[in-house]
Amino acid sequence: MLDAIIKAYNEAVFETDKDAAFEVVAQALAAGMTPEDIVFNVVIPAVEEMMSHITKDPDANLAQHFMTAQIASAVTEKMLEKFQHPPETIGQLVIGTAFGDLHSLGKRIVIGCLKAMMVNVIDLGVNVPAERFVDEAIKHNAQVIGISAMMVHSAIGEEGCRKVRRILRERGLEDRFRIVVGGAPYRFDEQLYKVVGADGWAADAVNGAKVIVDMIREVKAL
Amino acid sequence: MTPLEILSAAIAGRPAPRIPVFCNLLDQGAWEMGVSQEEYYASGEMVAQGQLRMRGYYGHDNVWSLFYVGKEVEFLGCNKILFTEGGAPNVADFVIKSYDDIARLEVPDDITAHPAWTEIGTCLRILKQEVGATHPICAYITASTTLPALLMGMDKWMELLLTGPADIRDELLRKCSIFCQKQIAAYRAAGANVLIYSTPFGSTSFVGMKRFMNFSLPWMQKDLAAGGTAGIVYYCGMAPFNTVIRPVMSELGIGAYYISPMADLAEAKAIIGTKGLTCGVIDDIKMIRWTPEETRAEVKRICELGKQGGHFLFGTGIMPQALSDQNIKAMLKAAFDYGRLE
Ligand code: B12
């Protein structure tokens, strides 16, 4: 039965059909599958499947990224309410859009994927000052700070990632947090993340989620 | 030949001494005029002078009547723009906060009578008077399928687009398309002769091919039907779109294509050939950390890929302010050198 459910669910995600995905989940529940099983054996593998698909397929598009994240986070949220015990999260991420930048879509897709992967996400919103990224990371005991930027000036300017890095250095916090960046300018110049002092980047949110999960594990292993 | 004649020759495939060279400098104009961005963009005369001075200094072919992209939604009720000194102004408040606002959204009857046009009109008047007979004057027009991103935010728009309700989505698109048509007419009447039609949702990196055919293409047809495609340049905000050049050409009849630096330029040129104008575009974000020599090498590569057989233009994205003067000069010198035609 599980195989058929996985297949139907993956198809729905691939076709960006949210209603169909929920239908599959409802059928699975009715057939006796637990919410835990659905999240861990259907939803998370589907996100991972989508990751490898998007990496391999040059025609993968933004609509697919968006809906993958939307469907995964919506289903997970629904299932979490039904969990017997609160699930164990992998770790914490604070994420926001850089100072001077009001673009929110990239961040929203990243958050959707991470929620489904059991990462506890603290969304700081848009136009976030550098100090706030650090203060909130400390407050929430995060492992990773995520900074999204859609324009060159918010990506490489003095008030964005560069400043977050400087504050971490000045306060001796560089071992405690990793910085991950993303957004249009980094896609045009794949080396840009280094210039601004980030530890990593990703070209899209689905792969971004993977980078972030790896970073969380890395920091936790220290 | 004047730059305007060189552009016409490139479009028609007539002999010319060189390819047209476009350089899109916008926010740098405030530096040029020695004022803040907010002051600069408050005055059409400032923007026109900024454009003319930058063109005079660097020597590229085109000038712009675009202030900043967010200006379009000022016609539709937005009155909060975030100005920063290092980069472009951004829309800071969305006109559509709930779906009810879509019903209330009003497209001005005569957009040239709207206060948001006043300074644009002044700017165009000066540009037309100063260089209208000799240089291309560019205008920027957002497609109906993309304008909602500025009215409600890209994430809310994605949601409405992909999950509906379809009737509300279509009502919004209808209004945006009417506005788009009015803009095309107004800019043409005021003297703009190159109309950059910005249509990121007309790229398959935004929507799949099926949705492109069933959704993006029909709305683009509506945007362009009334005014025709003279001077229209297909531009997906620097997203790649080689996959759709054929249908855009056959269904919309657009003649000029602004190819993303992330796309395969040789492939694009092969598809477009002599049927239209291929614009080879440099990655001006990578250029920030290139040396002038590296910049020159990249311009050479682009020109050599594209200029064979003519029908080719060299251009930039929206040049970031972080680019050095040295690099901009190196880029333009190289474009004039390698863009020479026999
Ligand atoms: C669509 C688009 C528009 C649309 C919609 C904008 C909007 N409100 O969202 C329109 C046409 C309106 C527009 C306008 C402008 N744009 Co624009 N636009 C684009 C385009 C084509 C795609 C951007 C986009 O929405 N992508 C979809 C989102 C989801 O992608 P994303 O943010 O990159 O996020 C993905 C990844 O990067 C990653 N990610 C994002 N954040 C994070 C964070 C982390 C931690 C991780 C791991 C991953 C990650 O995951 C996401 C999903 O997979 C890009 C070029 C391009 N090909 O990327 C230019 C681009 C971003 N625009 C640009 C500019 C300049 C502008 C303007 C400022 C122009 C102007 N002078 O007015 C205006 C600003 C308008 C405003 N807000 O007021 C420039 C920015 C570079 C620069 N020169 O500074 C670009 C790069 C084009 C260019 N090369 O010239 N734009």
pLDDT tens, position by position, B182-192? 999 999 999 99
Report the CATH fold assignment for B3-338. Answer: TIM Barrel (3.20.20)
- B260 closest CA partner among B186, B321, B200: B200
Residue B233 contacts residue B198 (beta carbons within 8 Å) = no
pTM recorded for the entire structure: 0.94
| B281 neighbourhood in chain A, CB within 8 Å | none
In this complex, the residue of A102, A152, A191 whose CB is nearest that of residue B322 is: A152
Q: Cα of B69 to ligand 1 centre, how many Å?
A: 12
Residue B223 contacts residue B177 (beta carbons within 8 Å) = yes
Distance in angstroms (rounded) separating the CA atoms of residues B256 and B231 = 8
Please give the angle made by the CA atoms of B292, B297 and B299, to the nearest 5 degrees.
95
Average pLDDT over residues A70-74: 88
Residue B298 predicted with pLDDT over 90: yes
Identify which has the larger pLDDT, B143 or A116: B143
In this complex, the residue of A16, A127, A189 whose CB is nearest that of residue B162 is: A16
Q: Cα of B56 to ligand 1 centre, how many Å?
A: 30
Question: For helices A44-56 and A205-221, what crossing angle results, to 10°?
Answer: 120
Surface-to-core class of residue A90, CB atoms within 10 Å of its CB (0-12 exposed, 13-18 middle, 19+ buried): middle
Distance of CA B59 to the CA centre of its chain: 20
Architecture, CATH, for domain A2-80: Orthogonal Bundle (1.10)
Distance of CA A205 to the CA centre of its chain: 6
Residue of A nearest to B81 (CA): A102
Residue B231 contacts residue B268 (beta carbons within 8 Å) = no
| Residue B113: count of CB within 10 angstroms of its CB | 9
**DSSP letter for each residue of A93-105:** EEEEEBTT----H
Span B134-175, pLDDT tens digits: 999 999 999 999 999 999 999 999 999 998 899 999 999 999
Interchain contact B229–A (C-beta under 8 A): no
Q: Residues lining ligand 1, CB < 6 A? A: A 62, 65, 103, 105-107, 109-110, 146, 148, 150-153, 180-185, 187, 202, 204-205, 208, 211; B 26, 68-70, 87-88, 90-91, 142, 146, 149-150, 154, 198, 200, 237-239, 317-318, 320
Distance of CA A201 to the CA centre of its chain: 12
- Band of the pLDDT at A59, cuts 50, 70, 90? low
Residue A81 contacts residue A36 (beta carbons within 8 Å) = no
Average pLDDT over residues A145-154: 96
- Pick the residue whose CA is nearest to atom 2 on ligand 1: B237
Secondary structure letter of residue B201 according to DSSP: G
* Beta carbon pairs, A and B, within 8 Å: 86
In DSSP terms, which residues pair with A124 in a beta bridge? Answer: none
- Band of the pLDDT at A87, cuts 50, 70, 90? confident
Provide the mean pLDDT of chain A: 91
Architecture, CATH, for domain A91-220: 3-Layer(aba) Sandwich (3.40)
- Pick the residue whose CA is nearest to atom 54 on ligand 1: B237
Boundaries of every domain in chain B: 3-338
Q: Cα of B39 to ligand 1 centre, how many Å?
A: 25
Which pLDDT score, from 0 to 100, does residue A217 have?
95
Which pLDDT score, from 0 to 100, does residue A181 have?
98
Interchain contact A208–B (C-beta under 8 A): no
Q: Give the residue ranges of DSSP H helices in A31-145.
A: 35-37, 44-56, 62-81, 105-116, 130-139
